[in-house]
Structure 1
Amino acid sequence: MPCALVAPNSPIFSPSKIPSIFCRSSSSSPRLLHVPPPTPSSRSSNNPLSSPKAFQARFQSPRHVISNHTKEPSGLGSGPGLALKRKRPMRIDIPIAPVSFAVDSPKAEERVEAVEVDEDGYSVYCKRGKRGLMEDRYSAMVDSTQALFGVFDGHGGSKAAEFAAKNLDKNIADRLASGGEEKVMEAVKEGYLATDAEFLKEDVSGGACCVTALVQKGNLVVSNAGDCRAVMSRGGVAEALTSDHHPCRTDERARIESSGGYVDYCHGVWRIQGSLAVSRGIGDRQLKQWVIAEPETKVLKINPECEFLMLASDGLWDKVTNQEAVDIVRPLCVGIDNPELFSACKKLVDLSISRGSMDDTSVMIIQLGRFVS
């Protein structure tokens, strides 16, 4: 598919700066589609392994909105955290991504409209939403012994998602190398927590939801922190391998309130401290007491029924069900000589947009059998 790159003299995506954002594989590079920089009146917001086969690239959406509306809907049941009347602590202001992007040049940042990657065994399509600059990121790292994939959805800016895309896979890989196969879940957990701790030292705002998939020795290890989701097709049946971390989840709400926080209903969404609509992720220093980076992890053996895996940001899952996604992808990826993974990614993103998604949407499809020896 032909592609266009931003102008060589772009202050953001000049050739000298592209590697800091997109680390290319030896076989192909992500293709970027762009439009001219926005006018002042427009609305916009803002380690791979050393093996030559290693590949890593990144991309990402503002999610949280601070609101004074605290009325809770009726009929939601009761529980330890559902006190109807109580004194609320002061809300914490979470910085919203700026409407412009400051650079060391009078020229505004080029807007990346879409990112396209079509590799052997996996493909990615990321599409910028209508809320501002692209803030989704992804990573893919493949070597002779394992493959590690990730999708990252930022909020309050792109810094956390970009940091996670650059560092999480390395942190996990380092810990896998030092531990046995039986310690894989602990290695993934430590990798997430280390990435979070390192990002907090950067002293920048924002956060990111993460979902990762490790293919190693015939096993699939899927982890998430936030509401990016992993869904697998098992013989044509959609199987969610992760559970979204939202404040309204009974266990998440209980954890938050036991730590002195509160969960509020603002503009149709449950939020922590009236601000953030996810309860786990990388970053979010202002809410770090309640927004933890510890992932939930599931390990399963890959068998012939495990056809393909989809990792995607909530820009997809808010508009497309798990089974719908499998039904769209399967005819293009299963039982044919040349699987059309990229076409399947794009069809899912286009469907989400046609149903009114305003968010950045990133979809990665992985052909599981390709990475099992």
Structure 2
Amino acid sequence: MCTVAISNSPVFSPSSRVSSSIFCKSSPESLTLTHAPSSSSISPSSSFKFRLQKPPPSASGLIRASNEDSPISCSSTSPTLLKRKRPTRLDIPMSSSGFSSDRATPCGAAVAEDRWKEVEVEEDGYSVYCKRGRREAMEDRFKAVVNFNGQNKQAFFGVFDGHGGSKAAEFAAENLEIRIQDEVEKRGEIEIVEAIKQGYLNTDSEFLKQEQRGGACCVTAIIRAGNLVVSNAGDCRAVVSNGGAAQALTSDHRPSRQDEKLRIESLGGYVDSSRGVCRVLGSLAVSRGIGDRSLKQWITSEPETKMFKIVPEFEFLIMASDGLWDKVSNQEAVDIARPFCASAEAVSACKKLVELSASRGSVDDASVMIIQLDRFC
């Protein structure tokens, strides 16, 4: 099993410091990436790779991504809403948890935090590349569960972008797939959209009981019986190459989105600009996600979910945190990834995309996962 962490999302107006982790366990039939075993379970021949480097110097019938739409003003236009007394602006607490001492440092690295600086995974059907931004700790996680059992090809993929700490992203990576599966077993395949929704809500509720700080944006993809079911809460995004044309399967949840802004205001909150970014109560730059206890009245964990039949034109799916999408457009990402995917070098495409975002000035962590959809037809 395998999870990955990355930090540096500008979601919170204050900066944050956090911990991170990743471990692997695989079998011929199934591979699960999540948070668990020790580094001794990773064999030298595994395709899972760590890249330890010195920190860089400071310096469509489907939905279109929201960040490519025209900007929306943060200010309310409703006279009624203007008269409402605003809740007190919140200062979001920062996480300062360190690295767990019981986790071995891979490759003999002397500094524990360096083991999460760069992570590369390449497996049958998908590839992942994650790289920490310019802050001290990573906050992203990812998870993949793949089963190629005969004709019954199933998979779960997720990318989780933490903010205010890595705890929520780590918890979602460890628990969300299990909670969704529990709901599917209770409700049946025909109610999978409702099962996913309840899985997200249950994961959020369980995380909040732990009284941990921070939150996480999520994007997940479930493949069953030739169908692709994509869900998101926050600004992680999924984009499919449809015959070479980029089509976003999710829409970012940000306070600048008109329906999200109205929902927040209808609950007694407000959207204000801080550092040129629209934020919930002037603090949080996303409007949905797991966690965010101090803003839970306005930050819902309910995902938006859509189902698609996997057709031959669906070449590959890119799932990534906003560390990519803030600097690279949907079509650019597809255009760059397509030649690599055609030559079975998808992990190189993931890496190329992360490097492009960084070259354009991104200081955020970036996690990019590419799923080869033809493996699941």
Shorter-chain TM range is 0.7 to 0.9
- Provide the rounded CA distance (Å) in 1 between the counterparts of 2:113 and 2:267: 42
Of 189, 199, 202, the match for 2:210: 202
- Provide the rounded CA distance (Å) in 2 between the counterparts of 1:178 and 1:22: 36
- Number of residue-to-residue matches in the alignment: 324
Asked whether 1:130 is paired with 2:134, we answer yes
Is contact 1:153–1:209 with CA below 8 Å preserved after alignment? yes
Residues 222 and 22 of structure 1: CA distance in aligned 2, closer, same or farther (over 3 Å): farther
Aligned-pair CA distance for 1:182: 1.6
Residues 218 and 319 of structure 1: CA distance in aligned 2, closer, same or farther (over 3 Å): same
Specify the alignment match of 1:217 in structure 2: 225
- Provide the rounded CA distance (Å) in 2 between the counterparts of 1:260 and 1:246: 17
RMSD over equivalenced CA pairs, Å: 3.2
Runs of 4+ in 1 over 4 A off after TM superposition: 11-15, 20-27, 73-78, 81-87, 102-105
Higher relative contact order (CA 8 A, sep 6+): 2
Specify the alignment match of 1:350 in structure 2: 355
Residues 178 and 23 of structure 1: CA distance in aligned 2, closer, same or farther (over 3 Å): farther
SS in 1 for 2:36: helix
- Provide the rounded CA distance (Å) in 2 between the counterparts of 1:157 and 1:302: 36
SS in 1 for 2:273: strand
Structure 1 segments unaligned to the other structure (5+ residues): 1-10, 44-72
Structure 2 segments unaligned to the other structure (5+ residues): 1-18, 24-34, 59-70, 103-109
> After superposition, where does 1:23-102 map in structure 2 within 5 Å?
28=46, 30-34=48-52, 79-80=77-78, 87-98=85-96, 101=98
- Scaled by the length of structure 2, the TM-score of the pair is 0.78
CA offsets 1:69-90 (integer angstroms, 9 cap, x no match): xxxx997786338967875331
> After superposition, where does 1:158-169 map in structure 2 within 5 Å?
158-169=166-177
Of Structure 1 and Structure 2, the greater helix share is in 2
SS in 2 for 1:346: helix
Specify the alignment match of 1:110 in structure 2: 113
Aligned-pair CA distance for 1:302: 0.5
- Provide the rounded CA distance (Å) in 2 between the counterparts of 1:94 and 1:223: 26
Specify the alignment match of 2:36 in structure 1: 19
- Provide the rounded CA distance (Å) in 2 between the counterparts of 1:84 and 1:21: 54
Q: What percentage of residue pairs aligned between the two structures are identical?
A: 61
- Provide the rounded CA distance (Å) in 2 between the counterparts of 1:74 and 1:183: 34
Q: In structure 2, what residue type is equivalent to 1:30?
A: F
- Provide the rounded CA distance (Å) in 2 between the counterparts of 1:24 and 1:151: 23
SS in 1 for 2:286: coil
> After superposition, where does 1:115-264 map in structure 2 within 5 Å?
115-143=119-147, 144=149, 145=152, 146-264=154-272
- Provide the rounded CA distance (Å) in 2 between the counterparts of 1:23 and 1:152: 25
- Provide the rounded CA distance (Å) in 1 between the counterparts of 2:99 and 2:350: 32
Aligned-pair CA distance for 1:181: 2.2
Of 352, 367, 375, the match for 1:370: 375
Is contact 2:72–2:258 with CA below 8 Å preserved after alignment? no
Is contact 1:81–1:254 with CA below 8 Å preserved after alignment? no
Aligned-pair CA distance for 1:136: 0.7
Aligned-pair CA distance for 1:287: 0.4
Q: In structure 1, what residue type is equivalent to 2:131?
A: K
- Provide the rounded CA distance (Å) in 2 between the counterparts of 1:274 and 1:309: 34
> After superposition, where does 1:287-306 map in structure 2 within 5 Å?
287-306=295-314
Is contact 1:24–1:30 with CA below 8 Å preserved after alignment? no
Residues 74 and 371 of structure 1: CA distance in aligned 2, closer, same or farther (over 3 Å): closer
Aligned-pair CA distance for 1:206: 0.4
Residues 25 and 175 of structure 1: CA distance in aligned 2, closer, same or farther (over 3 Å): farther
Is contact 1:247–1:270 with CA below 8 Å preserved after alignment? yes
Aligned-pair CA distance for 1:180: 2.4
Specify the alignment match of 1:284 in structure 2: 292
Specify the alignment match of 1:8 in structure 2: none
CA offsets 1:79-134 (integer angstroms, 9 cap, x no match): 33896787533112211233x726559x9743321111000110000000002211
- Provide the rounded CA distance (Å) in 2 between the counterparts of 1:285 and 1:74: 26
- Provide the rounded CA distance (Å) in 1 between the counterparts of 2:355 and 2:20: 27
- Provide the rounded CA distance (Å) in 1 between the counterparts of 2:340 and 2:133: 25
